[in-house]
Amino acid sequence: MSFINYSSREINCKLVYYGPGLCGKTTNLQYIYNKTRPEAKGKMISLATETERTLFFDFLPLSLGEIRGFKTRFHLYTVPGQVFYDASRKLILKGVDGVCFVADSQEERYDANIESLENLRLNLNEQGYDLDKLPYVVQYNKRDLPNAMSVAELSKSLNGTQVPEFEGVATTGVGVFDTLKMLAKLVLAELRKGT
């Protein structure tokens, strides 16, 4: 849950990028890092294996500016997508304020998407959260690949609750900021409702 510091007038929120292995979660964060003004971002930390697969998490702190006198800080995290890192994924979800599910649009990753989404729901439930009650968006990544499934097909199987969804090509930045912006918006809107 968010940390509201009335003393220093700061709001800290935690956003988590979830999805199957190699779907582009880290690439989303890298693009955001590369395109953000230096004064608005902190250091990006990647706890990765020697082959650059996420081992524990990536972390990117963003300061987006002030709203009504409150500085808004978003801490972006990715989880390790590979199936066997489930224990680590659960830890990253602790204290989450908003979730982005990054799906891999390629046909051969269809089952991996489904499995990862079920895993997200399950792991959230274990922490006492309900995905349907959290600020939540979906990004269909890798839209540039020839074997990408149609958005309609992906949406039907991955976005039954019809949360905001975006087409993405994280390597070139397509949809990356639209996704982040919508998620941040949903999180702040949730905060507006009060505690």
Partner 1 sequence: MNPQLVMFEEELKQIQKIADRLQQDSRARSILLIDKNGALVAAAGAAHELDTTSLSSLVAGNVAATGGIAKLLQEDEFTGQFHEGKGMSINLSLVGRRIILVVLFDKNTTPGLVRLRVKRAQDELVPIFEELAKKALSPQSSPLPDITDQDIDNLFND
Which residues of this chain interact with partner 1, rule CB under 8 A? 1-8, 11-12, 14, 37, 42-43, 45, 47, 56-57, 59, 61, 64-65, 67-68, 70, 72-73, 75, 87-88, 90-92, 94-95, 127-129, 177, 181, 184-185, 188-189, 191-195
By C-beta, is 84 or 192 nearer to partner 1?
192
CA separation for the pair 191, 72 (Å, rounded): 11
Residue 182 CB, nearest approach to partner 1 (Å): 10
Shorter beta-carbon distance to partner 1: residue 8 or 51? 8
Query: Which is closer to partner 1, CB of 111 or CB of 130?
Result: 130
Q: What is the nearest approach in angstroms of partner 1 to the Cβ of residue 72?
A: 7
CA 174 to CA 177: how far, in whole Å?
8
Q: Which residues pair with 59 in a beta bridge?
A: 45, 77
Q: Which is nearer to partner 1, 153 or 178 (CB)?
A: 178
Instruction: Work out how close the CB of 154 gets to partner 1 at its nearest, in angstroms, rounded to a whole number.
Output: 26
- Distances 121 to 95, 114, 166 between C-alpha atoms, Å: 15, 11, 20
For residues 158 and 139, is the Cβ–Cβ distance under 8 A? no
Triad 153, 154, 156: Cα angle to 5°: 65
Kindly state the smallest distance separating residue 189's Cβ from partner 1, in Å: 8
| Helix, coil or strand: residue 176 | helix
